[in-house]
Amino acid sequence: MTRWTINRMMKMGATIGVGTVPELKDGILAGAMPVICIAEDRLSCEPSVRLLLMSLHRHCGNQKIELFYPPADKTFRSWLEQFPAVNLNATPVPGAWGWNVKPQAILTLFARGYDDVLWIDSDILITRSFEKDFRGLPPTIMVLTEEALYGAHEDPNGLRARLWGLRVGRSLPFTANTAVLRATTIHINLLRRWISFLEDAEYREAQRKDWFERPAHLYGDQDVLTALLASEEYADVPVKFLRRGKNIIHFFGPCGYTVSERFYNVVYGMPPFIHSQVVKPWLKDDAGELTGWRQPFNSLYLQLSPYTISARKYRRRVSDAGWMNATSLLGKVLRVCGFYYPPLTGLPLAIAADIFSLTKRIFANKVPAMTADPRNGPPLTPRTTVQS
């Protein structure tokens, strides 16, 4: 990237708040890495926070990390001393509520003088360095991940923007999943707008309902960001999607780790991020919540989770590693047959799940597709600001 390109990008940059363009520019030219931001407010999720920090340290060395973790006690604080690059904030993120914490946390760090932030969900495990994906990245680019492969994977013709009543400026190739999210001070205006939408009464009301009762644009915070990025106002924000399988595994449900993703990983190696989306194996109650006719399948599949298999590397460094064990004989057998190698453990189940979902798709194509009524939105004018 040339200095000319950066100057041009800076001219394109929208609202700049705290943090100055020259500083940001110097950082990018120097190939600086964004500061990593992690926030968790549940004591029950401390096992995943510890695993994330251990795996970050193992693969990314002394990368600067800002951790928001209000339940931090004396034991946690002394354990944390082995990671000098981690700054503990034992206070809640200002203005955050429930899951809705990401834009607030990132803006808090901007206010402290950081200008380039990489949010990582606390339910992610790092398997290798991801520096090459972020070092020296143009500051205009927002990095997100492709949503997990399930019903909400797509955002056809700016569906979420239309449901919010926004004019559609582009159609994103997938719904944005914000488990990994890079933003710079150039995106301050967008982040503030994201917060204002999260404060919307309709959104807040929807969060009190079950997932299946919520409309697509009110599922969660990432659906709101998807709507904004597809809207005319923010259609010029360049977006880079980290791809499912290649850059991240969203282990969620039977399609959480497909056969093609597994083959890709066998050939090219594991992606740097493994996301234990929705079901958290370290929470005993969560694993027990699996119900219905798919329960035995899902329970077995969870024992073969790439997150859990990869977490086993750290089992001697955690106080309770019991949840990392397989709970059934079949689970143990499949782990051994797969050589405890994440792409292979669970492969037989992934084949079955892929065949099932393919069959479902073939039958679904025979009935008219269900589409939401657009409340608003002109014909699409596709833009070319999405990279993947």
Chain residues in the site for Mn ion (CB under 5 A): 121, 123, 179
User: Which residue number, 115 or 121, has a Cβ lying nearer to Mn ion?
Assistant: 121
Measured from the CB of residue 105, what is the shortest distance to Mn ion in angstroms? 14
Q: Cβ distance 175 to 160 under 8 Å?
A: yes
* CA R_g for the chain: 21
**How far is the C-alpha of 120 from the C-alpha of 296, rounded, in Å?**
31
User: Which residue number, 52 or 186, has a Cβ lying nearer to Mn ion?
Assistant: 52
Cβ-closest position to Mn ion: 121
| Rounded (5°) CA angle 12-14-16 | 120
Measured from the CB of residue 24, what is the shortest distance to Mn ion in angstroms? 28
User: Which residue number, 120 or 216, has a Cβ lying nearer to Mn ion?
Assistant: 120
**How far is the C-alpha of 369 from the C-alpha of 346, rounded, in Å?**
32
Measured from the CB of residue 330, what is the shortest distance to Mn ion in angstroms? 28
Helix then strand count (H, E) for the chain reads 16, 11
Measured from the CB of residue 277, what is the shortest distance to Mn ion in angstroms? 5
Measured from the CB of residue 121, what is the shortest distance to Mn ion in angstroms? 4
User: Which residue number, 56 or 179, has a Cβ lying nearer to Mn ion?
Assistant: 179
**How far is the C-alpha of 351 from the C-alpha of 332, rounded, in Å?**
19
Measured from the CB of residue 11, what is the shortest distance to Mn ion in angstroms? 36
User: Which residue number, 43 or 111, has a Cβ lying nearer to Mn ion?
Assistant: 43
Query: Which residues lie below 8 Å from residue 106, measured CB to CB, with a gap of 6+?
Result: 37, 117, 119, 181, 183, 191
User: Which residue number, 179 or 239, has a Cβ lying nearer to Mn ion?
Assistant: 179
